[in-house]
A = this chain, B = another copy of it.
Amino acid sequence: MQEKLAELKARLLEASDLQAAAAVLSWDQATYMPPGGAASRGRQLALLSRLAHERATDPALGKLLDELRPYEERLPYDSDEASLIRVARREYERATRVPADFVAEFSAHQSASFEVWSRARPANDFAAVQPYLEQTVEYSRRLADFFPGYEHIADPLIDMYDYGMRVSTLRPLFAALRDLLVPLVEAIGRQPAIDDSVLYRHYPEASQLSFGLEVAQRYGYDLARGRQDKSAHPFTTKFAAGDVRITTRVNEHDLSEALFSTLHEAGHALYEQGVRPELEGTPLGGGTSAGVHESQSRLWENLVGRSRAFWTYFYPRLQAVFPEQLGGVSLDDFYRAINKVQPSLIRTNADEVTYNLHIIIRFELELALLEGRLAVKDLPEAWAALYRQYLGIEPPDHRDGVLQDVHWFGGMVGGVFQGYTLGNVMAAAFFEAATRAHPEILEEMAAEGRFDTLLRWLQEHIYQHGSKFTAAELLERVLGGPLTVEPYARYLSRKYGDIYDLRS
């Protein structure tokens, strides 16, 4: 069996190394590649991805996994080896369920749709994308149908990003969240608006970058095993246990952009840097689900990076970097500025309170599309209705409405958006558990700008395991039960109750 296990690892390593090579090419494409490299790079990436897919779906791999089943069953569930075989089998089964022809056809459609959307969005032209989106809904349904036996047609799609999550558990969770958020947004709307103009003064790029990266390092992001570069859209990528990189973008007239995107990506990177290096090159070697990953980016961006404790220590340091811009601004005013709540049209610019409503709207709409309750032609109207209902605003056009996100137009309908909100809800639950276990976390942060107790807790309970446990298993282990909205509700009520003086 040791020989078969070694062969399994060798096969998985080769697939993983091909994916890592593709990740290096994608990173370069997003950071340094000159324009002339684009056409060939697409072709090179397609080749690497095909070779990785061939390895991931090789029948010899399936045979090996079958042969290893009795061995796996004798091992403890949470051992590295049993987990390796279990997760590898799950991924093999998922990869082989979908015929290669369908993958190629859908992928070609996605490229064409993306192409059309890229031009349609600036032109505010929903009619141009409508037939493509109709086909995307159809492809998404067909994709789900390769996984028969589902409870809801979105479940197989959700499985691809948040394995084990179900519409039947997400719907009540999101409904509870909506019932919490809509009145909270309304209550905040009745209070005086916060003046956050201080954030839009002129902040030179180099100082923004060095301050953000310094905080990321204080968090524990290790530059001997990572680095930061600039790209049009911030992202985190992993080439190896020892090479986890982040990117950011800088707006010299918006202090929030580079700073909070850096703290966000640093959260993703801390997770990846924290996976036990022995798991490298196996399906266990990365974060376990979109939701858990997002919980870490949001925890470090928001629960930590927008907290009063954090800024108690760091604000004087930020003022020292930008004395002209911030010298006369109090900690309290700065703290309120970075936590200003205001319903807005664009998801990616939304504050902590309204953000999840953007997600819930998309989630509800994509379920309706998949179930056939909503036709694509009626989507803009349904979109506007939900924005009115949940956020009290309405998009004046498609550009800043239904066309704003790439997900439906370059990918699939269903499966992707829920992870963002799951991440926010989990972040609060994990942070509450950590600070209950170690109340000194906030004190260390505020007094010394130290995060080691927090990082150690996350490392021990979450990061080290990589993908060994599903999100649900991890939540059960860490929180002692399934995910609920309560910790997040407590967090938002306390924080925004204070900021907007809602207690009275």
Contacts and interface: CB of A to CB of B under 8 A. Distances in A.
Contacts of A280: 40
Interface of A: 13-14, 17-18, 20-21, 24-25, 28, 32-41, 43-44, 47-48, 51, 222-227, 229, 239-243, 245, 280-281
Contact of A241 (B21, B40, B44): B40
Contact of A40 (B14, B28, B51, B239): B239
Nearest to A43: B17
A86 B280 CA distance: 43
Contact of A242 (B14, B40, B242): B40
A47 B229 contact: no
Query: How many copies of this chain does the complex contain?
Result: 2
Contact of A28 (B28, B39, B44, B51): B28
Given A36-B240, A40-B240, A40-B241, A48 B28 contact: no
A38 B227 contact: no
B32 A229 contact: yes
B227 A41 contact: no
Contacts of A28: 24, 28
27 contacts: A17-B40, A18-B47, A20-B40, A21-B25, A24-B24, A24-B44, A28-B28, A32-B229, A34-B226, A34-B227, A34-B242, A35-B242, A36-B225, A36-B226, A36-B240, A37-B240, A37-B243, A38-B242, A39-B242, A40-B280, A40-B281, A41-B239, A41-B240, A41-B243, A44-B239, A44-B240, A51-B51
A37 B229 contact: no
Contacts of A224: 34-36
A242 B37 contact: yes
A39 B225 CA distance: 12
A35 to B, nearest CB: 5
Contacts of A239: 37, 40-41, 44
Contacts of A35: 224-225, 242
The 8 closest A-B pairs by CB, nearest first: A36-B242, A37-B243, A40-B240, A36-B225, A17-B44, A17-B47, A35-B224, A37-B242
